[in-house]
Structure 1
């Protein structure tokens, strides 16, 4: 069933689990994420970045909506990192049930102004809105964007932004980056800062750049109040590593149905592992009354 983010994450917040947001930049990656969540009776957020939407086209979204509507588990269709009004309006017209307006690159007042404008557009249409305060790093191998310097979220400013805009969820910067970390770099979350932010605001918190962080940190972040974790690079890495292996072993392969099945299964293993970290396994049963 297709739901919005507010309804999905209110249940997660009440029951102390997080829902994964998986970037679906192709039909194969949609199969990876949705089929594994259905198999494990877990709610899911299907995320599409504006660049991915430009590649996939609006018609692909129609297929995703049909697939989500017919699913036995709760599904949110989410615009990931929309950076301007036009991108958000496109998502609204396509039927997304949740949008993220990323004003983290703006100064605080402009971030508030843009976020409030999007809230005023989306809320009357029953579309949830996610904002971001602080910056997520970019390791140079992700299409989701990010900044060259991580600016940590100020808890007091986070409270002010939420109160002035009425957003449903807030993406916080506590030390993550989009993409895969090089071997010499040790990712580390500032969990004390997360506690401070949680003490200031009561809406569900979002962790972007959740790939490659230590499992114990992700689990603790969920226990501390993160209700949505974005996962992209970990799944794509597993998927395309296996794809390359299949092609090396069969250089004459031409049929997608012969090339991608093994890669899909590798991606699904990552999703299953993340569902365990998020305490999300079997949680779709909690949505029977929605």
Structure 2
């Protein structure tokens, strides 16, 4: 499909895979996040995939997405707007047809596999008709995050080679495998990832789709670098780049003015984002 060559997410991740680096994809909850993420990208001369959860659409009636897209268009580096973990089919159709997204994660992982694949294929077709690229999750990445359904009650399943083929057949562009990574917190043991499974998935994919890393809360630098080195080109992050901002709000909210709270918070977000761009290797790649 020729239109995909002009799709911002597709362009950014194709370049990342060829260049062997990861592009950080943080979740934006408010204007401070949008500004902090894009300022970090411009400071580091890094591409960026700015993500929102479906919550942002329903909470702001789409206003936050329009603000993010406006900021992205005005940025001096490539910035794509992505909808993460979209699980409601009507909302996915609304997002693809009516809102300025570049890509959408069609997350039907709460259904059994056959139905997951059928619904994914149908929604991918709809998104493509609106020139939106798509992501999906084979296997189940356990746990939950702010703004998405908690799937912890479902039996976690690691991605198999057969599932890779089945999901590529739906027409997706980006694949988010389960290889020991979980949404939310890892606990005292920390992440225990099956790198051999990730290597198998990369070989199976063979360049047909880009690989996405989910579940990075608390990842140390060495694990993040290992995942990028093994072919993960889209690196989803959430609290990993918001921890300083959240601590700032708890500490300063009782005494700081609202404008000061926002301005200082934006700087905290920018600082952690710049660090992760260095870690993932996208600094200087824009």
TM-score between both structures, scaled by the size of structure 1:
0.89
Deviations 1:82-140 (A, max 9, x none): 113212112111121101101222222112111111121121322101011111222x6
One of 39, 48, 53 as aligned partner of 2:52: 48
Q: Which residue of 2 aligns with 1:11?
A: 15
The more displaced of 150-159 and 14-23 is 150-159
SS at match of 1:130: strand
Shift, 1:39, TM fit? 0.9
Q: Tell me, yes or no, if the aligned pair for 1:103 and 1:133 is still in contact at 8 Å.
A: no
Deviations 1:248-279 (A, max 9, x none): 5x2xx4x4211122222222222112111211
Q: Tell me, yes or no, if the aligned pair for 2:225 and 2:280 is still in contact at 8 Å.
A: yes
Q: Which residue of 2 aligns with 1:75?
A: 79
What is the total number of aligned residue pairs between the two structures?
Answer: 276
In 1, the alpha carbon distance for the partners of 2:70 and 2:263 equals 22
Q: Tell me, yes or no, if the aligned pair for 2:117 and 2:167 is still in contact at 8 Å.
A: yes
Q: Does 1:271 align with 2:276?
A: no
Q: Tell me, yes or no, if the aligned pair for 1:98 and 1:127 is still in contact at 8 Å.
A: yes
Structure 2 residues without counterparts, runs of 5 or longer: 1-5
Q: Which residue of 2 aligns with 1:212?
A: 218
Once superposed, what is the RMSD of the aligned Cα atoms?
1.8
TM-score between both structures, scaled by the size of structure 2:
0.90
- What is the correspondence of 1:182-197 to structure 2 with a 5 Å cutoff? 182=187, 184-197=188-201
Deviations 1:173-202 (A, max 9, x none): 1122222344x2321221111001111112
In 2, the alpha carbon distance for the partners of 1:142 and 1:60 equals 16
In 1, the alpha carbon distance for the partners of 2:185 and 2:265 equals 18
Q: Tell me, yes or no, if the aligned pair for 1:142 and 1:178 is still in contact at 8 Å.
A: no
- What is the correspondence of 1:10-49 to structure 2 with a 5 Å cutoff? 10-49=14-53
